[in-house]
Amino acid sequence: MVDYILKAEKESDTRKICVLVPELVVHHWWENLLHNRRADLLKAILLIRGTRRIIVINIPWYLDRG
């Protein structure tokens, strides 16, 4: 996914790339330990390898108590 985003960013000199990243919102702090942190890793890689034209937008995703 990172390679695709970086390739799309390089294809145009003026276009900005917006990446929507779902951010898991849990009810208790310890529930974060049960879920992987791939969204955080994706954001970090894009900030390090990307340019200012890549915009990362966090979208809260609420975990139902179900």
Q: What is the pLDDT of residues 37-47, one digit of tens each?
A: 888 899 999 99
pLDDT of residue 66: 58
Between vectors from CA 17 to CA 38 and to CA 12, what angle results, nearest 5°?
135
d(CA 35, CA 49): 25
* Ranges under pLDDT 70 in the chain: 65-66
pLDDT of residue 65: 65
pLDDT of residue 30: 86
Specify whether the CB–CB gap between 50 and 19 falls below 8 A: no
Specify whether the CB–CB gap between 42 and 2 falls below 8 A: yes
